[in-house]
Chain A
Amino acid sequence: MTAVQIEVFLQTLIAGLLLGGLYALIGLGMTLIMGVMKIINLAHGELMMVAMYIAYWMFVLFHIDPYLSVFIATPLLFFLGVAIQKFLINPVLKVESILPENQVILTVGIGMVLASLATMFFKSDYRSTPVSYATDAFYLSDYWKSSPIELSVSVPWSISFVIAVLITAALWFFLAKTDTGKSIRATAQDLDAALLMGVNVKLMRVATFGIGAGLVGAAGCLFIPIYYLFPALGGQFTLIAFVITILGGLGSTVGAIIGGLILGVFESMTATYIGMGWAPVGRFVIFVACLIFLPGGVASLLRKKRFGK
């Protein structure tokens, strides 16, 4: 490999890791909801789109930096998630029907309503937040003068990545150390046992959906400075979240993080070496490969290692 090839490879790897960190945040919300509710939230990407519009309008109307909007959009999305869970999904859980997938189809309906309302109110224009630091970048040669290769990392990408890592760490702390977090994990592991131990399962479900929506809301705010926004963007991110969830192992938080990073790197590799348009196909390839060779996802590997010792 020549220096240029190494440079391209490393640059792709870095871009992939940065993207993967953000993907992990999207996947985390979905995997939490899936773990506790046992349903797939097909409106996940649409919730992210809603958060992105909140961040966009905050920026346009009040000149609030998209990164500060995390503190606005996340609580709003939390309440939106709580409302969806309480008023739409809970009633369906009680209804008898032939198909158990009714709840999943319901989330599709919710996603459709959100996406088309966005089209109605905001038109299908592509929008973005032109922040002043959008094109800034860190260069390797600024820090290491005699570096044989040149690498650059975009400033907004790195900020988004760092915030994503911070949020993930906060979530880990919440799930591992607090009572509510432990109750959520208990509900995910065994609903009946959690009920017997005095966990308010109903409340936990509502809270989980809220947290899942809040996480994807935060991801939306982190995405908007580096991406563009249009009403139909939800579907593609729902798919990404789902692939991460499968890749990481269903309902596994650590798995979702690793899955997000793998997907990010893989996608950026496909984009560099095969072609931009093929990235979604790359997603599907990794998804199918995972189903065939590693049906339990990354989580099953982790578990094997732990028990193997």
Chain B
Amino acid sequence: MKKYFPLIALALLSILPLIGLSTYMMHIVILVVMWSIIGMAWNLLGGYCGQVSFGHAAYFGVGAYTAGILYSKLGASPWWGVLLSIVVVTIFSFILGYVVLRLRGPFFALATLASGEVMRVTAENWVGFTGGTLGIMVHERTWVEKIWYYYIILLIAAVTYFLVKKLVESKLGYYFVAIREDQDAAESLGINTTLYKTIALCISGVLTGIAGAFYMNYMGYIDPHVVFALHDISIITIMIVMVGGVATYWGPFVGAVIMVFLAEWVRSIPGLGAAHQTLFGVLLIVIIIFLPNGIVGDYKKLKRLVGLGRTS
């Protein structure tokens, strides 16, 4: 039964639009699926390989700008950007990885944070190429109906899920975990840590980049502050995985559901709009102190805590 759980979940998700959700609800569901892709991508690098990245906005933004620039400069459909972003982001991740993967732990974290910020500043200042702070706008939408976007992102999510699962269960996955647990020990066992860290970074970056290119198509507008945002992309990505569960298959999905709905809910309360980051910050602090492995990772502990609450 457990073996078929992903397929059942996929089937349930694919009939979800048939129950007649409003356009707004469809939008939320699409965002949830998109964020769970980014979460899964981050989880591969951060959760399994132990390289906590604070700069996934860089890959997201590069993916989005690949699609955007393809459209604004060459006039091609931004959907080609989804494919092209695979190539572009691979090269980008490889170059970035060459620099940032020299660092470990917290230093890696901050170097990636800086890389995201630098991409934002570059996109803002390189007006001739990126359109600067004006951003890029796609003038004709492919579909008005959101359902097609939903199926496309669901397909990408399904592929991502199975790819991450296959990778983690393969020899590569064991290398990743070995690097996370002790990089020096992994190296002394003959694992080429630099190579495998680069592989993890590239795959993680490409998956995020695809999500970025999809975002360009779906939203129809990007600017440097949206796609290279530190708090609204990079940190949210980390929160999704931290809340859902680090190094679990379903953690990013659970995290994305909680975070997206929470964000929408807080934003809808009048006068509390600006508070959503306070709430996120508090949630992050609470999760780290009480459920360091997230809701899925610490499910037993959570159940026990809730159980205790009931009996007493």
Question: Which residues of A approach B to under 8 Å, CB–CB?
Answer: 39-40, 42, 88, 91-92, 95-102, 104-106, 108-113, 115-117, 119-120, 235, 239, 242-243, 246, 250, 275, 277-278, 280-281, 283-284, 287-288, 291-292, 295
Q: Which of A108, A243, A246, A277 interacts with B124 by CB under 8 Å?
A: A277
In whole angstroms, what is the CA distance A117 to B272 when docked? 11
In whole angstroms, what is the CA distance A101 to B112 when docked? 14
**Residues on B with beta carbons closer than 8 Å to the beta carbon of A42:** 110, 113
Closest Cβ–Cβ distance, residue A23 to chain B (whole Å): 15
Known contacts A120-B278, A280-B118; is-contact A95 B235 (Cβ 8 Å) = no
23 contacts between A and B (CB under 8 A): A98-B246, A98-B293, A99-B47, A101-B52, A104-B106, A108-B235, A108-B284, A109-B281, A112-B277, A112-B281, A115-B277, A116-B276, A116-B278, A116-B281, A120-B275, A120-B278, A239-B113, A280-B121, A284-B115, A287-B114, A291-B99, A291-B103, A292-B99
Q: Which of A96, A100, A110, A112 has the most CB of B within 10 A?
A: A112
* Dominant SS among interface residues on chain B: helix
Q: Please, how many residues of chain B have a CB less than 8 angstroms from a CB on the other chain?
A: 46
Question: Which residues of B approach A to under 8 Å, CB–CB?
Answer: 46-47, 50, 52, 54, 99, 102-103, 105-107, 109-111, 113-115, 117-118, 121-122, 124-125, 180, 230-231, 235, 238, 242, 246-247, 274-278, 280-282, 284-285, 288-289, 292-293, 297
A-B pairs with lowest CB-CB distance, top 6: A97-B292, A112-B281, A113-B281, A109-B284, A116-B277, A101-B52
Closest Cβ–Cβ distance, residue A281 to chain B (whole Å): 5
CB pair A98–B277 under 8 Å, yes or no, is no
Q: Which of B46, B107, B124, B282 has the most CB of A within 10 A?
A: B107
**Residues on A with beta carbons closer than 8 Å to the beta carbon of B284:** 105-106, 108-109, 112
CB pair A239–B117 under 8 Å, yes or no, is yes
CB pair A120–B288 under 8 Å, yes or no, is no
Closest Cβ–Cβ distance, residue A105 to chain B (whole Å): 6
Q: Which of A98, A100, A112 interacts with B47 by CB under 8 Å?
A: A98
Q: Which of A104, A110, A243, A275 interacts with B114 by CB under 8 Å?
A: A243
CB pair A99–B117 under 8 Å, yes or no, is no
CB pair B99–A288 under 8 Å, yes or no, is yes
Q: Which of A91, A101, A117, A295 interacts with B102 by CB under 8 Å?
A: A295
CB pair A99–B114 under 8 Å, yes or no, is no
Closest Cβ–Cβ distance, residue B197 to chain A (whole Å): 15
Closest Cβ–Cβ distance, residue B62 to chain A (whole Å): 15
**Residues on B with beta carbons closer than 8 Å to the beta carbon of A292:** 99, 102
CB pair A106–B122 under 8 Å, yes or no, is no
**Residues on B with beta carbons closer than 8 Å to the beta carbon of A291:** 99, 102-103, 111
**Residues on B with beta carbons closer than 8 Å to the beta carbon of A120:** 274-275, 278
Q: Which of A105, A119, A288 interacts with B242 by CB under 8 Å?
A: A105
Closest Cβ–Cβ distance, residue A181 to chain B (whole Å): 25
Closest Cβ–Cβ distance, residue A276 to chain B (whole Å): 10
CB pair A110–B285 under 8 Å, yes or no, is yes
**Residues on B with beta carbons closer than 8 Å to the beta carbon of A275:** 125
In whole angstroms, what is the CA distance A25 to B46 when docked? 32
Q: Which of A88, A95, A108 has the most CB of B within 10 A?
A: A108
**Residues on B with beta carbons closer than 8 Å to the beta carbon of A235:** 117, 230
Closest Cβ–Cβ distance, residue B283 to chain A (whole Å): 8
CB pair A119–B285 under 8 Å, yes or no, is no
CB pair A104–B52 under 8 Å, yes or no, is yes
**Residues on B with beta carbons closer than 8 Å to the beta carbon of A280:** 117-118, 121
CB pair A242–B121 under 8 Å, yes or no, is no
In whole angstroms, what is the CA distance A205 to B189 when docked? 35
CB pair A242–B110 under 8 Å, yes or no, is yes
In whole angstroms, what is the CA distance A243 to B281 when docked? 24
Known contacts A116-B274, A116-B281, A281-B121; is-contact A102 B109 (Cβ 8 Å) = no
In whole angstroms, what is the CA distance A106 to B52 when docked? 13
Known contacts A112-B277, A235-B230, A280-B121; is-contact A40 B289 (Cβ 8 Å) = no
Closest Cβ–Cβ distance, residue A26 to chain B (whole Å): 14
**Residues on A with beta carbons closer than 8 Å to the beta carbon of B109:** 40, 101, 104
**Residues on A with beta carbons closer than 8 Å to the beta carbon of B242:** 105
**Residues on B with beta carbons closer than 8 Å to the beta carbon of A97:** 246, 288, 292-293
CB pair B282–A113 under 8 Å, yes or no, is yes
